[in-house]
Amino acid sequence: MSSDTSVENGVSATTASSPATETMQALELDELIRQMISHLGEDPDRDGLLRTPERVAKSMRWLTRGYNQSVREAIGEAVFEEKHESMVLVRDIEVYSLCEHHMLPFFGKAHIAYYPNGRIVGLSKLPRVVDVFARRLQIQERMTDQIADALMEVLQPMGVGVVVEAYHLCMMMRGVEKQNSKTVTSALRGIFRDDAKTRDEFLRLAHGGRGLD
């Protein structure tokens, strides 16, 4: 699997693996999944499981494709000079990720706002930025910070605010098995952290909807 030149924040351009390397990695992953099925007490040669290693490997590569993406690539040239002097908020962005502790899904919504400093970004790019970080083995706390820090670096706005609300299957279908617990994380940068009115406006708008039902 190829890696970002800046793995921690996902901002820099990616470096692609060669086709030969990717083929080798795919075969190795297939075999590891086949071994896992066997170790769990199943027969990987059973009819229903014959192609399962291939399917699971393909699925995992898709679910972790963020390792091969970067924020600069996701935004591209969709940054425009514009003297907009008010908050821009995109709410209820769907989030799907994998908990790095148990490799079980967590899912929910992200609310992202920024205060432009002479430049705005195409609205559809904010969900793409979310996916750059969500499509990895993650923890919600780090992902929230990464989204905020990346937007601060790329857009250089007056500030960024990010709130993520998510349900974690590692808490719902195993362990404590609490079905209705929701985790909420936030990251405030610049004016969103330093100015109480801006912070309050953002949090009021972010939580103004119904959230996760």
Q: Of 102, 153, 201, 207, which residue is the catalytic one?
A: 102
Establish whether 100 is a catalytic residue.
yes
Q: Which of 138, 140, 146, 165 is catalytic?
A: 140
Question: Is residue 76 left, alpha or beta, with left meaning phi > 0 and alpha meaning psi from -120 to 50?
Answer: left
Out of 22, 25, 73, 170, pick the active-site residue. Answer: 170
What is the C-alpha to C-alpha distance for residues 55 and 144, in angstroms, rounded to an integer? 30
CA quadruple 132, 133, 135, 136: dihedral, nearest 10: 130
99 catalytic residue (yes or no): yes
Q: Is-catalytic flag, 140? A: yes
**Would residue 111 show up in a list of annotated catalytic residues for this protein?**
no
Question: With b meaning 16 or more CB within 10 Å and e meaning fewer, what string describes 84-109?
Answer: eeebbbbbebebebbbeeeeebbebb
* 39 flagged as catalytic: no
168 catalytically annotated: yes
Active site residue 146: no
CA distance 22 to 16: 9
Active-site entry in 69, 99, 138, 146 = 99
Q: Which of 100, 111, 146, 201 is catalytic?
A: 100
For the annotated catalytic residues, the residue numbers are: 99-102, 140, 168, 170
